Amino acid sequence: MDAYAISRFLVAHHQSYEVYPLCRYYDIEIEAIRTGVFCPKCQCGQMQWLRRKWICASCLHSDQKAHLLALQDYGMLIDKNITNKQAQHFLQLSNRHVIKRLLTTSAYHKAGATKQRKYQILL
């Protein structure tokens, strides 16, 4: 399943804030959510982080902020708080230094000490 499509569909059908996280509200298996950053242009390609930007494997569109959409989906579907490790898994980018930079430059509220630090995704 595509996280972007699911979250947009569910939000379109229910506007109330109390539905978040949607996976719990709708009893969706978290493992069923497809992870990764998807191209905002063609919406079908999975993006890879290369030289400080996301590149679409399908249409080669590049975007420095494509992870923000994926993180919003994470916040709506799974949890509005995310750790570095969870972000590495969800964004399919196993570089904790890059992930830290992406999370800290996204203006998310930080809580906790370094390793267990959680970033609150703004919905």
Residues of this chain that bind Zn ion (CB under 5 A): 39, 41-42, 45, 56, 58-59, 61
Chain centroid, CA 86 distance in Å: 10
Nearest approach, Cβ of residue 3 and Zn ion (Å): 16
Sequence-ordered list of residues with C-beta below 8 angstroms from that of 2, at least 6 positions apart, any chain:
34, 38
**14 vs 41 by CB, closer to Zn ion:** 41
Smallest gap from residue 52 Cβ to Zn ion (A): 18
CB of 46 to Zn ion, least distance (A): 9
Select 62 or 81, whichever has its Cβ closest to Zn ion. 62
Residue 69 CB, nearest distance to Zn ion (Å)?
13
Q: Say which residue the tokens 């996301």 belong to.
A: 54
Closer by beta carbon to Zn ion, 54 or else 90: 54
Token look-up 């709506």 returns 76
Cβ closest to Zn ion, residue 39 vs residue 103? 39
The b-or-e profile of 66-92 (16+ CB within 10 A means b, else e) is bbbbbbbbbbbbbbbbbbbebbbbbbe
How far is the C-alpha of 111 from the C-alpha of 121, rounded, in Å?
12
